[in-house]
Structure 1
Amino acid sequence: MINEPPVGVVGLGLMGSSIVAALLLAGHSVKAIAPLASEAAEAPGRIEGQLRQCREAGLVGALPPYLGMLTVSEDYAALAGCQLVIECVIERPEIKASVYAKITAVVAADCIVGSNTSAIPISELQKHIDTPARFLGIHWAEPAFMTRFLEITCGEQTDPVFAERVFRLAHRWGKEPTLLRKDIRGFITNRLMYAVYREIFSQIETGHATAEDVDKAFRYDAGSWMTLMGIFRRMDYLGLKDFNAILPRLFPQLSNSTEVPEIMQRMVREGARGVHNDHGLYPYEPGEGQQWDDAFARFNREIHQLAAEYSAGKVKAYLQ
């Protein structure tokens, strides 16, 4: 798919770099803007490493053609000519607003501006752009170059024409995108996951289970079928009738707390960043976090191949 139109990416942290790698793989030349000097220095090497992971997984051939399609700059003028620009900076509205002003100052009036935000409503962010109709959410999952996930979200003022354009484009990126036409806080995937987070913290704080118990239950039950089928397909697979009896008994017992769990508050007070600094909900020996990062890279190569084998289209083909 070489020679796809250029795409801009603003913000080259872990997620931004991952998005750049995904776009390069899809054949786009990428104009990447590093708002921080440190990102400009670190991002090319990180992106090269991500592409190397893709090569090892058999998703890409030689690296030089892809790296030659990447431009990294601190000058927003490099975005001129892009038909789509994706913002991937810190989750602070005032910083994002500043970024949008710099983007729209150099791109055409019909250039789509998307945000990778996972927490801020699109309807709030699009108030900071001169033409809000062209603004929408384009929410990726890490690692963007491996997962099939992509969530496209319309704000109150988004013109559906732009959302449909990105939706079609996402299929060329190798994604199975969702299109959320109404802006709701947290979008789809985060609302699902944070409902799980609330319940698992409740189980731990009440002493009903340990972190190890919860993780094992999630890995070996849900983890055994999620790559093949989603929640509703799973309910169909189980036959549906038992849910009519189970749901009214179980729903009232689930946590409905609106408070940040004390465990998480303590983690923040202690400066814990999990595998990124070997301090998290689990204990880590020095360097163990990097081992988890390496293991996750290997796992993603394998799960990508498995997901491709059992994608929705292929499963339907098996059934025919």
Structure 2
Amino acid sequence: MIESVAVIGAGNMGRSIAQFLLQNNVNVLLIDENDNVARHAEVSIKNQLEKLHEKNCLDEMSAYDLSNLEIGYGLPARLTADLVIEAIPEKLAWKQNLFLKLEDLCSTDTLFATNTSGLSISEIALNLDYPERLIGTHFFTPAAIIPLVEVVKGRETSDATAGYIVDYLNELGKKPVLLQKEVPGFIGNRIQHAIAREAISLLESGVASAEDIDTVVKWSIGLRMVLTGPIEQRDINGLDIHYDIASYLYKDLSHSAAPSPLLKEKVDQGETGLKAGKGFYDWETKDDRNDVKNKDEQLIELIQTIGQNKETGGPLG
């Protein structure tokens, strides 16, 4: 049984994974080498849980206990967790070095998981003595709320490790999907980047404003995809119709093998989005900047509504 989990990396993703585990009454050790980041994560998790509890956004069965959270400042001399989830930056060498250290610090029974968004699990495990116990668990932001987790095996990951992690995530209320083949970016990010590449290309070409492009996506395919995935929707629309459209449209879609010049220009100018106050949107003057903080609550309400309608056979089911 997995009774204790250590999360390495207390940034936005790590703290959100820790919050999710706490919501399920799991003992969590959240570790970061930066003391300020670790302290901020502890305050952020407690504030978020209390806020969600006050607004009745948490499931009635959620029984979080803040005393189950322990903060670690740097790796300890010995780590006794049953499962270690790595959530450090997307640097292959950093992840490889971390798991090498963890093999020395942990029992041979400890399972290792990396939250990489698309790096090769096989490459991360390349120098390990026990690569069979390392697996990819790609949570989606915000990890405490979004149900899906992509579970990805490396070449050496054992079927036992994969089965155990899938079962554990199911027990915690997540929706794990086990990939049958290891590919860069996995499933979610490949599809997300394909959509983003076309959206940015449309913006760069002057077809419409960022706001209008987002409006089209949110109020058409975005709504539909909550209930119907892109492959199922092809069947519903008719594969013959899809084939006819694809025959003339595909050649006109963006197929750039590199990020767009507009995206590069934004990054080079430091206009990296919300955290910088400006990106494709001007977040310093945008009235709904504060509304970003409320999106977590809106996501929870949406997920709960979908779940309730599926159980009752309502219109969203």
State TM-score, norm by structure 2.
0.90
Instruction: Compute the displacement of 1:78 (Å).
Output: 7.5
Are positions 1:200 and 2:203 aligned together? Answer: no
In structure 1, what is the Cα distance between the partners aligned to 2:90 and 2:129? 20
In structure 2, what is the Cα distance between the partners aligned to 1:63 and 1:174? 11
Instruction: Compute the displacement of 1:150 (Å).
Output: 0.7
Are positions 1:277 and 2:287 aligned together? Answer: no
Task: Report the number of matched residues.
Answer: 316
In structure 1, what is the Cα distance between the partners aligned to 2:255 and 2:216? 21
**Change over 3 Å in CA distance of 1:65–1:205 after alignment to 2:** closer
Aligned amino acid, residue 38 of structure 1: N
Instruction: Compute the displacement of 1:262 (Å).
Output: 1.3
In structure 2, what is the Cα distance between the partners aligned to 1:18 and 1:68? 17
Q: 2:28 aligns with which of 30, 46, 56?
A: 30
Moved more, 9-18 or 89-98: 89-98
CA RMSD across the alignment: 2.7
Instruction: Compute the displacement of 1:88 (Å).
Output: 0.3
Where 1:72 maps in the other structure, the secondary structure is: strand
**Change over 3 Å in CA distance of 1:158–1:20 after alignment to 2:** same
Deviations 1:21-67 (A, max 9, x none): 11111221011111211222111111112312442244257999521
1:57–1:301 Cα contact (<8 Å) kept: no
Are positions 1:13 and 2:6 aligned together? Answer: no
Moved more, 32-41 or 295-304: 295-304
In structure 1, what is the Cα distance between the partners aligned to 2:286 and 2:219? 27
Where 1:120 maps in the other structure, the secondary structure is: coil
In structure 2, what is the Cα distance between the partners aligned to 1:249 and 1:315? 42
In structure 1, what is the Cα distance between the partners aligned to 2:119 and 2:291? 29
In structure 2, what is the Cα distance between the partners aligned to 1:45 and 1:33? 14
Deviations 1:139-172 (A, max 9, x none): 0011111111111011111112101111111112
1:4–1:27 Cα contact (<8 Å) kept: no
Partner of 1:175: 174
Instruction: Compute the displacement of 1:237 (Å).
Output: 3.1
In structure 1, what is the Cα distance between the partners aligned to 2:56 and 2:63? 17
1:167–1:179 Cα contact (<8 Å) kept: yes
Moved more, 213-222 or 72-81: 72-81
In structure 2, what is the Cα distance between the partners aligned to 1:53 and 1:227? 26
**Change over 3 Å in CA distance of 1:287–1:218 after alignment to 2:** closer
Moved more, 96-105 or 153-162: 96-105
Equivalent residues in 2 for 1:106-255, closer than 5 Å:
106-255=105-254
In structure 1, what is the Cα distance between the partners aligned to 2:217 and 2:63? 40
Where 1:267 maps in the other structure, the secondary structure is: helix
- Percentage of identical aligned residues: 28
Deviations 1:108-134 (A, max 9, x none): 113111111113111111114321111
In structure 1, what is the Cα distance between the partners aligned to 2:295 and 2:87? 22
Partner of 2:46: 48
Moved more, 52-61 or 298-307: 52-61
1:203–1:209 Cα contact (<8 Å) kept: yes
In structure 2, what is the Cα distance between the partners aligned to 1:15 and 1:93? 17
Gaps of 5+ in 2: none
Where 2:71 maps in the other structure, the secondary structure is: strand
**Change over 3 Å in CA distance of 1:79–1:71 after alignment to 2:** farther
In structure 2, what is the Cα distance between the partners aligned to 1:244 and 1:65? 50
